[in-house]
Structure 1
């Protein structure tokens, strides 16, 4: 099954006999803003207009725990995550489609969490809400309670030690912007740089100018150039806090390459001064 779905395919599925549960996960990374500029409000954006039938999911509250030593977006409590997913109508036997405002990061985080906890049929709307050509609605539906019970471990996940091991013996991709990988700037976390041995692979290079993913063969070529051969070598991905890294794992899935996500990512790694940090354009 493909990990992404086009807007045309989604419209067809919504009109079919087994329509998917739709989750709207609009979110933006919180960074310093100009004086007086309010933070992005995903729920307000949802209430202003969303794909008919979609239910809003709050990334910071429902797809992550509170920030701390495990990073800025650590895994959510599994009992709370299961409750949240059932509340928005997720059931194990019903397909799920997730979308965001177009960047794809937040939708990928929801996709990865549901896949990691065992849901068999989750896809991301390629291009997000901007790709949707149908009508929008403002009324918030009240879905029937779902039956999804999360069972962690269905797909790969790394901790800090596991990420370091993949950097040594496999391919560890850093999905952040190149300047953060090099350590030229670090606007969010305690220190700039990257995990020694990791390869710079900005996730925004996996999409085209329309916001959708590159063609499968183009993604395969890109990852091959980064050292991902597609054989049995282990592939891991990290980012700042396990959100944009999920988008890179999704791109790898589109290319047919399984990869494990280091959820704590650089926000966890850099919080421990005993962990090594590499700077500059080279992995080591």
Structure 2
């Protein structure tokens, strides 16, 4: 199943489906505008989005903040995510295309959840809104409120690991636990939000920003394979990714999938790990921490 879609190809699909009969499977665009600094992306969405795109509230619809002890962005329940999918107008058989203005860093969370829910065709706009604008494609203003859909969610299609499994993978000789945060957070030089600085012992630094080129598009599959191979990743051993709260780690999982490697997501990520005082934290550039 394709992971990415080019903005030109998306525009062509939307144009071709403009006069499709009611009930015909369609391409539905989901705008996941979110950053840690600006979590409410609704204003930016209303100011200009891909025509027909529905706004997705990452904090409210792609996470369950009522869950305690599971990190800053716990996964939503299956039932809650199904309700969100239907609010977005998704119907079984549609193609869901997710987009953001951050090189896919937040949109990948929606992509991952759609795949986890068993939704048939979910893709990320390669290069995001920057690539859409660069192609000279139009933007639409205001809100889009679609007719409710009938999509179903059945979680379990994507591998997930928990706190103990992340610990075991970090300590494993064969598997690889990738830390998708910026290098300075991995090394423990800065920590803007979590209670302790550093990384899960044994984890390898692999900032998600390294998955994309300067234009925000994902690196070619061959380049991603080479990048992850240099970090010890291969197809014969388990691989998982984490970040601060499980958002950017989904981007890492997508990049690994483009490279042909299936990887698990640790949703609790460092925001969960660092809140457990009994769990050690390593600092420095090496996986095991500097002496």
The root-mean-square deviation of aligned C-alpha atoms, in Å, is 1.4
Structure 1 alignment gaps of length 5 or more: 31-38
Query: In structure 2, the residue corresponding to 1:22 is in which secondary structure?
Result: strand
- Give the paired residue count: 275
Tell me, yes or no, if structure 1 residue 249 matches structure 2 residue 253.
yes
Work out the CA distance in 1 between the residues paired with 2:168 and 2:154: 25
Tell me, yes or no, if structure 1 residue 179 matches structure 2 residue 179.
no
Structure 1 position 19, deviation (Å): 3.5
Alpha-carbon distance change, 218 to 161 in structure 1, aligned in 2, over 3 angstroms: same
Structure 1 position 40, deviation (Å): 5.5
Q: Show the counterpart of 1:147.
A: 150
Work out the CA distance in 2 between the residues paired with 1:101 and 1:165: 35
Q: Show the counterpart of 1:219.
A: 224
TM-score normalised per structure 1: 0.93
Q: Which of 2, 8, 19 is the aligned partner of 2:26?
A: 19
Point out 4+ residue stretches in structure 1 off by more than 4 angstroms: none
Q: Show the counterpart of 1:276.
A: 280
Question: Does the CA contact (< 8 Å) of 2:40 and 2:57 recur in 1?
Answer: no
Q: Show the counterpart of 2:47.
A: 48
Work out the CA distance in 2 between the residues paired with 1:222 and 1:2: 21
Write the deviation string for residues 63-122 of structure 1: whole angstroms up to 9, x where unpaired: 001174211101113222211110111122111000001331110000001111111210
Q: Show the counterpart of 1:113.
A: 113
Write the deviation string for residues 191-230 of structure 1: whole angstroms up to 9, x where unpaired: 011111110001101111101111111111000000012x
Q: Show the counterpart of 2:21.
A: none
Query: In structure 1, the residue corresponding to 2:270 is in which secondary structure?
Result: helix
Structure 2 alignment gaps of length 5 or more: 18-24
The correspondence of residues 2-151 of structure 1 with structure 2, limited to 5 A, is 2-17=2-17, 18-30=25-37, 39=38, 41-66=40-65, 68-132=68-132, 133-151=136-154
Deviates more, 1:167-176 or 1:49-58: 167-176
